[in-house]
Amino acid sequence: MNAVPLDLLRRFDVSGPRYTSYPTADRFVEAFRGDEYVQALQQRRVGPLGKTQPLSLYVHIPFCESLCYYCACNKIITKHHDRADAYLRYLGREIDLHTAHCGTGQVASQLHLGGGSPTFLDDDGLRELMAILRRSFSFVPGGEYSIEIDPRTVDAARLAVLAELGFNRLSFGVQDFDPAVQKAVHRVQPAAQVFDLMDAARALGFESINVDLIYGLPRQTPESFDRTLAQVARLRPDRIALYAYAHLPERFKPQRRIASAELPGAAAKVAMLSQSLEAFSDAGYVYVGMDHFALPGDALAVAKRQGRLHRNFQGYSTQPDCDLIGLGVSAIGRVGSTYSQNTKTLEEYYDLLDQGRLPVVRGLALSRDDLVRRAVIMAIMCQGQLVFESIDLAWLIDFRSYFAAELEALRALEGQGLVQLDDSGIEVTETGWYFVRAIAMVFDRYLQADRNRARFSRII
């Protein structure tokens, strides 16, 4: 990998969407609710895709034992583990409502448990959840079955239970190994604990293990983060997700406990990013795109080489683009040409299910323009190239006319060495992959219309 120029990192230190969907979730409307979602489920049931296209499933477990100050996820802080019992009962009701509309036994090739902390559930709770899911859906052999892990909540025995239940991918939330940074964000977990868990997970045969890191946290410095990067290189996870911390205390109450004066400045954040790119390259990782790195033999790196990358609400995936059913509070789904999101409060979630209604409270039915632009953005984000003729034929448009303004805007990015344009299409350069969000943003009609990007994270 060639070094990424620092001047480009500084220039593109701006906010923008992650494009786990297009349009992005902030465009969802409350006019789309449970009835519209039911219609989408029923259309899937009678349509050809319901019989041939596997589902992806996401289950949100909102509970955490302690609060991490940087967290912007939808979570409930409690040490009362019995609260999970009621939640699992209601998850069962929500799953039953889904199968009533789309049929029992729909094939699923992907499952992701997120949160919160899914490992807040004890072994019996996890077994109960998986039993409910297996009664309702048919999981294919060799699918991607992953769970987010808070290292403070598991040991080798618990990892063995996860393997027994069919999980084959893990994601460890590390963020930073520096004790001072961990204390500042209220997430103290010794590095030795993570190293021991990694050894145990490898011995159990998990196919892919990811580690999440965050740069820009309080008390981080380029020097301290260098030490974390060296430890991660020794840990050698199969995948690394590197995120920039977005400090938005006006939106996320936990972040108000972070002292703004302790946050690294813009120059230090760019330095940490530059160091990370160099360190991961030196350690043999492939830059997959959009904050993600993988060892060359990992399925994600292989998919990128073969042009088979896909993207959904959980990020990059090797699974074909497919409908996603979101389960639990705040979960987001995609069925057909619709997006939907469940209520974010436990009280309303329980209340709607008590009424026999799906807990969808907002969403979006995509317009034809949305679908065209989604196809373009996902081609750029996943394949790094776009052939005009393929869009012309798929959507019966003339790409050069339809996107004349966007192609003109891309000329500036071409001048910076991020894309190459010719008569047949667009190709993202090796350097451009690091700024692929900026390239995709050119085609985002909503973003170009309002220019209000402060609600998004940094694009690099």
pLDDT in tens, 38-70: 999 999 888 776 667 899 999 999 999 999 999
Q: Inform me whether the pLDDT recorded for 453 exceeds 80.
A: no
pLDDT confidence of residue 2: 58
pLDDT tens, 119-155?
Answer: 999 999 999 999 999 999 999 998 999 999 999 999 9
Q: What is the DSSP secondary-structure string of 56-125?
A: EEEEEE-EESS--TT--S--EE-S-TTHHHHHHHHHHHHHHHHHHHH-TTEEEEEEEEEES-GGGS-HHH
Collapsed DSSP state (helix, strand, coil) of residue 17: coil
pLDDT confidence of residue 213: 97
Q: What is the mean pLDDT of residues 207-214?
A: 96
Cβ contact 108:143 at 8 Å = yes
pLDDT confidence of residue 235: 97
Residue 319: CB partners within 8 Å, gap ≥ 6? 54, 56, 109, 110, 143, 144, 310, 312
Q: What is the mean pLDDT of residues 268-275?
A: 90
Among 276-290, 314-328, 350-364, which is the least confidently predicted range?
A: 314-328
Nearest by Cα to 148 from 314, 396, 377, 345: 314
pLDDT confidence of residue 349: 98
Q: What is the mean pLDDT of residues 311-319?
A: 83
* Domains observed in the chain: 1-23+368-460 (1.10.10.920), 24-325 (3.80.30.20)
Residue identified by tokens 């959904």 is: 312
pLDDT band at 15 (very low <50, low <70, confident <90, very high): confident
pLDDT band at 392 (very low <50, low <70, confident <90, very high): very high
Other CB atoms within a 10 A radius of the CB of residue 243 amount to 17
Q: What is the mean pLDDT of residues 240-263?
A: 92
Nearest by Cα to 275 from 213, 219, 184: 213
pLDDT tens, 403-413?
Answer: 999 999 999 99
What is the model's pTM?
A: 0.92
pLDDT confidence of residue 333: 94
Share of the chain above pLDDT 70, in %: 96
Collapsed DSSP state (helix, strand, coil) of residue 294: strand
Residue-averaged pLDDT of the chain: 92
Other CB atoms within a 10 A radius of the CB of residue 308 amount to 16
Q: What is the mean pLDDT of residues 392-397?
A: 96
Q: Inform me whether the pLDDT recorded for 77 exceeds 80.
A: yes
Nearest by Cα to 168 from 124, 208, 108, 114: 208
Share of the chain above pLDDT 90, in %: 77
Among 6-15, 74-83, 173-182, which is the least confidently predicted range?
A: 6-15
Residue 248: CB partners within 8 Å, gap ≥ 6? 72, 255, 455
Element spanning 257, H or E: none
pLDDT confidence of residue 181: 97
Among 16-25, 55-64, 260-269, 290-299, which is the least confidently predicted range?
A: 16-25
Rg, the chain, Cα only: 22
Residue 449: CB partners within 8 Å, gap ≥ 6? none
pLDDT band at 193 (very low <50, low <70, confident <90, very high): very high
Q: Which amino acid is at 237?
A: P
Nearest by Cα to 58 from 247, 409, 346, 323: 323
Q: Inform me whether the pLDDT recorded for 451 exceeds 60.
A: no
pLDDT confidence of residue 180: 97
pLDDT band at 434 (very low <50, low <70, confident <90, very high): confident
pLDDT confidence of residue 460: 57
pLDDT confidence of residue 452: 53
pLDDT confidence of residue 447: 87
pLDDT confidence of residue 318: 84
Q: Inform me whether the pLDDT recorded for 314 exceeds 90.
A: no
Handedness of CA 435, 322, 121, 354 (dihedral sign): positive
Q: Inform me whether the pLDDT recorded for 450 exceeds 80.
A: no
